[in-house]
């Protein structure tokens, strides 16, 4: 079966442009060929499904026809193993069932104290004003929160300080920011070797903690404790490697997406001071100068903050692409796609379609009022994926973003350093390529 229409010819220049700035190419492909089209990236043909109907088709209505494990991101398994992100089918379903209790409301409420403690600790040195890369600052903060709230690991321990897990994740994920030909290389001093080296050091930290927990029989309310005492459907305990895979998956997802989302939100607040003023007015009205509680952050006490969060996730969805591989041939909107093909949907591109989100490049929180959100087509807004692969930590991530954003806005005024121009990298989540240099002062 032939591939759908698109750019099927080999083009090194297009490959380089796609690696650096995929969004314009995807939007142009949608305009020129429709919601189903093909792009040759280096030597491979990739079918893209763009738009609300396409998102729903691949994540919900026909999700069983697509595999994640065989997609272009399969190399991520070298870092995080067989966790929720990299597995399919029955194994994925069983793993998800084991981990769901860790994200119930009671656990989320308990995590608020950890989040507030860590953000207040991180804010103290900034009280007198500073110039800093807010993206790097947030990555370290979000990883400390993930280590404590999700796994009961002490981020200030000697092992954690020596390993510097934030830098190790940055080193590993930089593999996806290198040119496509470089990603094919294996051997010493290649991007692949750096990814494997970072994974080895992270493994040491996680396996050491697993061994200590098993020896002491220590148990808490964190995910690590849950996994160590969980059993599969046959009553067998999870192996150390299975526990490690889920731990590293959630450490990766639990800090990387939060870092990017809060960074992009602060960037937009710098460019839209009227939005910042509305957030401050809402804080004055709701918090009255007090530290927020779990009830403020888990409920609907600050509705404008929720609009800002939704709009940030629309414009900058961290998981910008949903890579899959088709099992059988299928047809969508009159276009046939062969089986065993690389098939991707893209929330980033779909969130920038002007007939779905008018003026998509503007930051307009009001487009997510209850009435406007209800009017969106099914599958139009998918920052956390959909169906059985909806991000299991979605509510935890949203809670963390609300907490960090609330306390940063409440305690600091901030502005972009002069001449900064935002550029975005994809590794595999999107993030500011050159960080987020801000000048901050205490309010």
Handedness of CA 420, 421, 427, 429 (dihedral sign): positive
28 contacts: CB under 8 Å, gap ≥ 6:
none
Q: Which two tokens stand for residue 411?
A: 């305690």
Q: Sorting pLDDT into bands at 50, 70 and 90, what band is 312?
A: very high
Residue 161 has pLDDT above 80, yes or no: no
Given this model, what pLDDT does residue 135 score? Answer: 95
- Other residues' Cβ atoms within 10 Å of the Cβ of residue 382: 26
Exposed, middle or buried, 105 (CB in 10 Å: 0-12/13-18/19+)? Answer: exposed
Q: How far apart are the first and last CA of the chain?
A: 62
Least confident stretch, 30-44, 153-167, 230-244, 406-420: 153-167
**In angstroms, what CA-CA distances link 287 with 293, 307, 402?**
9, 18, 14
Strand ranges of the sheet holding 412-416, from the earlier edge strand across to the other edge: 130-133, 437-442, 412-416
User: How many other CB atoms are found less than 10 A from the CB of residue 155?
Assistant: 18
| Strands 36-41, 6-7: pairing kind | parallel
Residue percentage of the chain with pLDDT more than 90: 59
Largest CA distance in the chain: 64
Mean pLDDT of the chain: 91
- Do you find a cis peptide bond into 27, omega within 30 degrees of 0? no
CATH number of the CATH domain containing 227: 1.10.630.10
Q: Residue 164: its pLDDT value, please?
A: 74
Quote the pLDDT of residue 158: 67
Is 433 inside any structural domain?
yes
Tell me if 177 sits within 8 A of 191, measured CB to CB.
Answer: no
Compute the chain's Rg from CA coordinates.
22
Q: Where are the alpha helices (DSSP H) in 272-316?
A: 273-286, 294-298, 303-315
- In sequence order, the 6+-apart residues with CB closer than 8 A to the CB of 408 are 119, 123, 262, 266, 414
Q: How far apart are CA 117 and CA 399, in angstroms?
A: 14
Q: What is the pLDDT of residues 364-392, one digit of tens each?
A: 999 999 999 999 999 999 999 888 888 88
State yes or no: pLDDT of 302 exceeds 90: yes
Nearest by Cα to 154 from 108, 87, 100, 208: 208
Share of the chain above pLDDT 70, in %: 98
pLDDT tens string 326-366 = 999 999 999 999 999 999 999 999 999 999 999 999 999 99
Give the mean pLDDT of 67-73.
87
Q: Can you tell me the mean pLDDT for 397-414?
A: 95
Residues 218-257: tens digit of each pLDDT: 777 778 888 888 877 777 778 899 889 988 888 887 788 9
pLDDT-derived band of residue 5, with 50, 70 and 90 as boundaries? very high
pLDDT band at 212 (very low <50, low <70, confident <90, very high): confident
Mean pLDDT of 59-82: 90
- How many Å apart are CA 135 and CA 144, to the nearest integer? 14
Query: How many CA atoms lie less than 13 Å away from 296 in the CB half-sphere?
Result: 22
The pLDDT value given to residue 181: 82
- Of residues 349 and 201, more confidence is placed in 349
- With residue 371 as reference, give the H or E element that holds it: helix 370-374
| pLDDT confidence of residue 160 | 62
SS3 label, residue 174: helix
pLDDT band for position 162 (cuts 50, 70, 90) = low
Residues 347 and 319 sit within 8 Å (Cβ to Cβ): yes
d(CA 86, CA 188): 25
**pLDDT band, very low/low/confident/very high, at 163 (cuts 50, 70, 90):** low
User: pLDDT value at position 263?
Assistant: 97
Number of structural domains in the chain: 1
| DSSP string covering 101-162 | GGGSHHHHHHHHHHHHHHHHHHHGGGTT-EEEEHHHHHHHHHHHHIIIIIT---TTSHHHHH
Q: Is residue 44 part of a domain?
A: yes
CA 396 to chain centre: 12
Closest by CA position to 256, among listed 139, 422, 81: 139
Domain carrying residue 151? 6-442
CA 424 from centre of chain: 14
Residue 388 confidence (pLDDT)? 82
Report yes or no on 94 lying in a domain.
yes
Instruction: Kindly state the average pLDDT of the residues 193-217.
Output: 89
Residue 159 pLDDT exceeds 80: no
Residue 155 pLDDT more than 80? no
Whole-number pLDDT of residue 278 = 97
In a domain, 1, yes or no: no
Rounded CA separation 62/343 (Å): 13
> Rounded CA gap, 11 and 151, in Å?
46
């Amino acid at each position: 079966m032939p591939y759908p229409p698109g750019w099927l010819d080999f083009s090194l220049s297009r490959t380089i442009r796609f690696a650096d700035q995929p969004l314009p190419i995807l939007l142009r492909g949608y305009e020129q060929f429709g919601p189903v089209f093909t792009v040759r990236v280096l030597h491979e043909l990739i079918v893209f499904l763009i738009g609300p109907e396409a998102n729903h088709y691949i994540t919900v209505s026909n999700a069983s026809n697509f595999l994640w494990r065989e997609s272009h991101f399969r190399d991520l398994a070298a870092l995080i193993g067989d966790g929720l992100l990299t597995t399919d089918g029955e194994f994925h379903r069983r793993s998800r069932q084991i981990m769901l209790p860790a994200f119930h409301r009671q656990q989320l409420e308990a995590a608020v104290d950890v989040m507030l403690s860590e953000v207040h600790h991180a804010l103290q040195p900034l009280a007198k004003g500073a110039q800093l890369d807010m993206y790097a600052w947030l990555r370290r903060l979000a990883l400390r929160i993930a280590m404590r709230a999700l796994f009961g690991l002490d981020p200030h321990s000697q092992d954690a300080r020596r390993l510097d897990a934030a830098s190790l994740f940055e080193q590993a994920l930089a593999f996806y920011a290198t040119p496509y030909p470089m990603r094919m290389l294996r051997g010493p001093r290649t991007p692949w070797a750096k990814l494997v080296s970072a994974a080895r050091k992270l493994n040491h930290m996680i396996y050491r903690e697993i061994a200590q927990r098993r020896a002491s029989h220590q148990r808490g309310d964190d995910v690590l404790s849950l996994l160590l005492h969980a059993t599969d459907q046959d009553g067998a305990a999870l192996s150390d490697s299975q526990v490690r895979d889920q731990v590293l998956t959630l450490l990766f997802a639990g800090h990387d997406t939060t870092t990017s989302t809060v960074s992009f939100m602060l960037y937009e607040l710098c460019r839209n001071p009227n939005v910042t003023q509305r957030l401050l007015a809402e804080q004055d009205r709701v918090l009255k100068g007090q530290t927020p509680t779990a009830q403020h952050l888990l409920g609907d006490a600050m509705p404008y903050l929720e609009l800002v969060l939704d709009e940030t996730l629309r414009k900058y969805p961290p998981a910008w692409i949903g890579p899959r591989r088709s099992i059988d041939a299928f047809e969508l909107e009159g276009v046939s796609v062969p089986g065993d093909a690389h098939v991707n949907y893209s929330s980033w591109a779909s969130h920038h379609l002007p007939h779905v989100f008018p003026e998509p490049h503007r930051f307009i929180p009001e487009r997510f009022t209850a009435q406007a959100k209800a009017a969106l087509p099914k599958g139009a807004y998918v920052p956390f994926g959909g169906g059985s692969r909806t991000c299991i930590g979605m509510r935890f991530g949203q809670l963390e973003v609300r907490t960090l954003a609330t306390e940063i806005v409440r305690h600091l005024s901030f502005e972009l350093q002069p001449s900064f121009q935002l550029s975005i990298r994809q590794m595999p989540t999107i993030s500011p390529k050159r960080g987020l240099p801000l000048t901050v002062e205490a309010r």
